[in-house]
Chain A
Amino acid sequence: MATTSVATDKKTKFTVFTIEECPACGQKTKRPFQTGDYITKDGAKCAKCGNQTRISLIYAEATKPA
């Protein structure tokens, strides 16, 4: 199930993103977080070299300041 998770505090809205990194060419892909993602989990094939990517970071980014 794909979900874009949004965390909020009083002033700012946050969207959580997953970063997939290719260990071969270093290409990083940013996409919305999906339930079941975790750091070191295998990601999609690298768009640049076709190698297996790996989730290197998951973080919340401010999207809409009030």
Chain B
Amino acid sequence: MVLQTGGIDYTSLLYALSFLFVPVYIILGPRLQVYMALNDIGRGLSRLKLMKDKARKETIDYVTTTGKTVGDPSPRIDQFLDYVTIMPVDIDPNGIVGKIDHVVTVRDERVRTEVGDLVSDKNPVTVSVSENLLEVAGALNNIHKVVRHYYLLGKKTNSYFMLLQLQMIMPQIVQEADALLNAVDTFKLAQPVGDGIGPVIASRYMYGRDKQVVAKDTVMSISEYKGRKLYVMKAEGPMAYVGQPGVGIKHIIDDMGVKPSAIIMIDAALKLEGEKTGEIAEGVGAAIGGIGVEKYQIEEVASGHKIPIYAILVKQSILEAISAMRKEIAEASDKVMTILGRVIEEKTKEGDNVVIAGIGNTLGVAQ
């Protein structure tokens, strides 16, 4: 059927107009996509701003109420949020791990000293929780600043590809920020986090035994298991410490002269989508995250003395690792104990020494 009224052929007219759509789309299409990307990122950015403001407020509240700070801590906390750690130059051929260790140690000591000065309550749990809250608030502040930078840069330069990349990773960024914000409540109440499963296991071997400090914020106890001598270490709880397991293991082997037949590390591991929370994986190698300094130290001492390292990992998501320990993770502890016993029996013999390290944040887990 042909549409024709008053001598005008509408079908032909529409057909001709449809050709106009192509150049219009070519010219305006990218602008439309930029507009949509900006809208999308803008929404995420607003959420990030809310999150970082909430984390800042919660930190100030904690420091004021629980930390009993005298006066208004806001200006000092705002300064902390913009605290910068300048990493050493990475073109150094002599190795930079020692330098990174030095820089990070100086930063940690400075933060602890300044937080100690800020809070009047000198309870080590309060001080360590304040440190962790500042770290979370600082991380959220940084995430917001970086995303805002690229958002504004993309807007200014009208760069579709810059905005597209940001738009693509935005859901992951918001998810991670959400996890950090969730951690705030857990830290404020000093509850064990999912990452603390390693220290939970270590504490079972250490409870009721003498403890000795083997590194900063790190303690060790000696116990026995079926004729083996166990050197069990973890960060000192119930403070929100991760300790220095690398320095601790080196101290046990090099300074105390212990010759272990195995080092067994228990840690939380990030699960892949589809894996179940609380699943346990066994493996070999240094099971420890972080910046890499501790891992390097453990690998150095283990390879130098030809000591095998065995790992027992409890799977969890990033959200679960930094929020209150889920039931599935806590209940995995009995299975980990069984596996640990089996590994000790299989890989060592009676009379051997074994180093066991419970890796992770030990908030709410004493020993």
Contact = CB atoms under 8 A, between A and B. Distances in A.
Interface of A: 3, 5, 7-10, 14, 16, 33, 35-41, 54, 57-62
A33 B326 CA distance: 13
B333 interface: yes
- Which of the listed residues B324, B325, B326, B333 has the most CB atoms from chain A within 10 Å of its own CB? B324
A30 B105 CA distance: 40
A3 B237 CA distance: 21
B223 interface: no
A29 B182 CA distance: 27
Given A33-B189, A37-B364, A40-B367, A58 B182 contact: no
Contact of B200 (A9, A16, A57): A57
Contacts of A35: 189-190
Nearest to A17: B327
Interface in B234-249: 237-238
A35 B364 CA distance: 10
Nearest to B238: A38
Interface string B314-325: 000001000111
The range of chain B's interface size is 20 to 34
A9 B191 CA distance: 16
Contact of A16 (B203, B324, B333, B367): B324
Contacts of B203: 39-40
Give 10 closest A-B pairs by Cβ, nearest first: A59-B330, A38-B238, A60-B324, A40-B366, A39-B365, A61-B327, A59-B327, A38-B364, A7-B324, A57-B330
A39 B326 contact: no
A7 B327 CA distance: 13
A57 to B, nearest CB: 5
- Which of the listed residues A8, A36, A38, A62 has the most CB atoms from chain B within 10 Å of its own CB? A38
A13 B364 CA distance: 21
Contact of A60 (B178, B200, B327, B367): B327
B185 interface: yes
B120 interface: no
- Which of the listed residues A10, A57, A62 has the most CB atoms from chain B within 10 Å of its own CB? A57
B186 interface: yes
Contacts of A14: 324, 326
B355 interface: no
A39 B185 contact: no
21 contacts: A5-B324, A7-B323, A8-B182, A35-B189, A38-B190, A38-B237, A38-B366, A39-B192, A39-B237, A39-B364, A39-B366, A40-B366, A40-B367, A54-B207, A57-B200, A58-B324, A58-B325, A59-B192, A59-B327, A59-B329, A59-B331
Interface in B164-223: 178, 182, 185-186, 189-192, 200, 203, 207
A32 to B, nearest CB: 12
Contacts of B327: 59-62
